[in-house]
Structures are given as structure tokens and as C-alpha cells.
């Protein structure tokens, strides 16, 4: 927990409390939301990433600090499965911060990844190409999606 300020009794104030005061709203601990093909919505924290029913995902949203959608991808549940990673880079200077890697993998082994900051801006160009060229390791549920259709993954 980081502390930048102290209360009158000199006890530390956590960064989350400071940020809530700055934004005037409750900060969201939810990083993403999925929308299934039947319209149901599930948020990060309600279900885990590995429990997403990948055969039904129609939309994948990245949520900002206050819970609003800052980035959205639309998917074809029969052909594409979402990929999401939250990367935190700590250090001194301008190299610090959070980057969301979000995109999808297709059943034929192709991928599209976007690198998004928490405010929804792209921080580096997106990647489009074979799964072998992506800079994330596919998790079991993502790898299974490709292998169901007879595709192959070298990662």
C-alpha cells in the first residue's frame, strides 16, 4: 500500500482513499466486463477470467477507474476468443504504469492484440498476425479454444 498523505492523527492515508477523493466517486476494482450473446453481463470479480464461457462472448470491455467502458472489442463467439492481461510496470520516471493487453485469438491460430492504457488510449501499435508472434503466453482455456478446431499452438 502506498502512502502520500497523513491524517490529523498522523496515520497514513492509502492511495485508494486519495484517488476516491479526487474522482468524487467510488473507484472500481473491476478491470473488465464480458457480454454474452444472450445479453448477460459479467464483471471481473463476479466470475474469474478462466471461468468465462468463451463460446458465448460477444463483447469484451475494458473498464476505467470509475467503472465506465474505455475500450471495447466485439467478437464472433464461434470464431474468436478474448485475451486479456493486465501488466503493471513499476520504476522511476515515465516508464511506470498499467497497460492492458486485450484482443482475441481465432480458431485458425491468428491473433489481434491492442495495448491500452487505463484511460483507453493505445500505448503502442496493435499486433495482427499468427499466435506464434504474440508477446503473451496463452493460458489453458485460450490454447484449448484453438485446439478444439484442429489448430495448433507452438507457445
pLDDT single digits (tens) 89-111: 766 655 567 788 999 999 888 89
Its pTM stands at: 0.71
Cell digits of residue 70: 474505455
Structural domain spans, the chain: 27-148
Instruction: Kindly tell me the burial class for residue 90, based on how many C-beta atoms sit within 10 Å of its own C-beta (0-12, 13-18, 19 or more).
Output: exposed
Segment 103-128 shows an average pLDDT of 87
Three-state DSSP state, 100: strand
Amino acid at each position: 500500500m502506498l502512502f502520500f498523505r497523513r491524517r490529523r492523527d498522523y496515520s497514513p492515508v492509502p492511495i485508494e482513499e486519495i484517488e476516491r477523493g479526487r474522482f468524487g466517486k467510488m473507484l472500481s476494482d473491476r478491470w473488465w466486463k464480458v457480454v454474452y450473446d444472450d445479453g448477460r453481463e459479467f464483471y471481473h470479480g463476479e466470475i474469474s477470467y478462466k471461468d468465462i464461457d468463451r463460446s458465448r462472448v460477444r463483447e469484451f470491455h475494458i473498464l476505467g477507474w470509475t467503472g465506465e467502458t474505455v475500450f471495447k472489442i466485439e467478437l464472433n463467439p464461434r470464431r474468436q476468443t478474448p485475451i486479456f492481461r493486465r501488466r503493471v510496470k513499476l520504476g522511476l520516471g515515465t516508464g511506470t504504469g498499467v497497460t492492458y493487453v486485450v484482443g482475441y485469438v481465432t480458431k485458425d491460430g491468428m491473433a489481434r492484440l491492442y495495448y491500452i492504457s487505463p484511460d483507453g488510449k493505445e500505448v503502442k501499435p496493435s499486433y495482427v498476425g499468427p499466435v506464434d508472434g504474440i508477446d503473451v503466453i496463452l493460458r489453458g482455456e485460450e490454447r484449448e479454444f484453438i485446439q478444439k478446431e484442429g489448430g495448433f499452438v507452438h507457445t
